[in-house]
Amino acid sequence: MKLVLATGNRGKVREFREMCEAEVIPYKELTGELEIVEDGESFAQNALIKARTIFEALDEEAIVIADDSGISLPILDGAPGIYSARYAGEGASDKENLYKLIDALKTKGLRETPAYYTAAIAVVSSKGEYVVHGWMHGTAIDEARGDKGFGYDPMFIPEGYALTLGELDDAVKKAISHRAKAMALAKPIIEMLQRK
């Protein structure tokens, strides 16, 4: 059965291919561009919205996989959370979002504060719908260090490390990330649906 991914992001497509040890197809190759309104109130709801929209647009049997992720700071009541990709406004760049969050810390007079990343992965098929989560806890700091990773990584120090994800090797992030943890939980679900 076809595995269809609800993203065009090349990095994500590669990560999912490696995880599933199978061919995964970016949805646009099958349905063309779709308008997906991510108006859920949680990562799980938004991942499900993406997966369901694509599942319904397909004219063949498939397993659709979607993810939604972001960073949350308890001191900011969980912001930017589900709005991480557009924290500095619709169409904002990763850098603009990063520096807006750094400014939010500075405004509070904080050098550092607890933070965590969340990833929700939704799997939708004719056999049912599933959602799993992964988290990575750590500390957000008031400056950007290093240029590895993406998004908020230069200001995030994972628990147990002294460097930011912008400075640490990609292999470290791959081993401990919210997405890797969620993927490890999604994998047996996808395999079970493929066997059914």
Binding residues for ligand IMP, rule: CB under 6 A, are 67-71, 84-85, 94, 97, 117, 149-153, 177
- Say which amino acid occupies 31: T
- Is residue 153 among the annotated active site residues? no
The single residue of 39, 59, 67, 68 carrying the catalytic annotation is: 68
Dig out the tokens for 160 from the structure. Answer: 């147990």
Q: At its nearest, how many Å lie between ligand IMP and the CB of residue 59? A: 26
| Residue 5 · residue 192 · CB < 8 Å | no
Instruction: Judge whether 64 and 129 are in contact, CB under 8 Å.
Output: no
Q: How far is CA 154 from CA 35, 128, 139, in A?
A: 31, 38, 11
Q: Return the residue nearest ligand IMP (CB atom).
A: 151
C-alpha 171: how far from chain center: 17
Closer to ligand IMP by Cβ: residue 63 or 120: 120
- Three-class secondary structure of residue 70 per DSSP: strand
Contact between residue 69 and residue 118 where contact means Cβ atoms under 8 Å apart: yes
* Shortest reach from residue 195's CB to ligand IMP, in Å: 28
Q: Which amino acid, residue 52?
A: R
CB nearer to ligand IMP: give 1 or 76: 76
What is the nearest approach in angstroms of ligand IMP to the Cβ of residue 107?
A: 20
Of 36 and 58, the one with the shorter C-beta distance to ligand IMP is 36
With respect to ligand IMP, which residue has the nearer C-beta, 62 or 166?
166
Please state the closest distance from residue 91 (CB atom) to ligand IMP, in A.
Answer: 12
Instruction: Enumerate the active-site residues.
Output: 68
